[in-house]
Amino acid sequence: MLKTIPLKNIKYVLLDMDGTLLDLYFDDYFWRHLVPEKYAEKHDMTFGKAQDYLYKTYKHHERTLNWCDIDFWSSELKLDIPALKEQIRHLIEVHPHVIDFLKMLRKEKKKVFLLTNAHYKTVNIKFKKTAIGEYFDSVLCSFDVGHPKEYLEFWEKAEKKLGFEKEHSLFIDDTEDVLKTARDYGIKYLLFKALANSKAEHGKTEDFQSITDFRQLM
């Protein structure tokens, strides 16, 4: 049961993008299927071997800026990653009731910030497809501050750049490690977004309250 989130006490709403506002199916399909398929074609190997190699390579760069840097992956894999994303941009979808939730925040005069590890080029592709960009007062990528959201340094710099007050902020993300760092930094209200990928199982957390649908906050 979701305990009441005291909207009247919240001045700032900090939102993750992929998996939280947007369906993670696009990203999961892209990195687990399309990229291995194209890599296998380029290197004349089986899909399975390409997948094994890529999963190990992805793992090596987790929790670094490289992880979400599509220019890095273009160079590393010798594939045009932005062009491949454009090929399947029709799969980019907003989670149910997200737009209604963002409109409600605007009506309630909350400051709304997008905090994402995604690369600028990825953000641009997704904003063009979904038009969610108009609902944010500001957008902060981890590349703006030199650290992914899993690190306290991200939060220190984010607070300076955006000017939110952590005791009056709600942060919603689909990654538990990111929420733990936000909690360590002192963000008062935290929510885990389960069902990041609409075609996969619910994510689970024992440490945070969770929602599966933004309707639960309305």
Record the pTM. Answer: 0.93
**pLDDT per residue as tens digits for the range 143-190:** 999 999 999 999 999 999 999 999 999 999 999 999 999 999 999 999
* Percent helix, strand and coil across the chain, each to the nearest 5: 55, 15, 35
| Residues in the chain where the model's pLDDT stays below 70 | 1-2
Domains of the chain: 7-24+92-217 (3.40.50.1000), 26-90 (no CATH)
Burial of 138 (0-12, 13-18, 19+ CB in 10 A): middle
Strand partners, 141: 116
- CA gap 41, 46 in Å, rounded: 8
The pLDDT value given to residue 1: 47
The pLDDT value given to residue 2: 61
- CA gap 168, 187 in Å, rounded: 8
- Asked if residues 89 and 125 have their Cβ atoms less than 8 Å apart, the reply is yes
- CA gap 207, 62 in Å, rounded: 22
The pLDDT value given to residue 114: 98
The pLDDT value given to residue 164: 96
CA-to-CA separations, 122 to 129, 153, 156, 204, in angstroms, rounded:
11, 23, 24, 26
The pLDDT value given to residue 63: 86
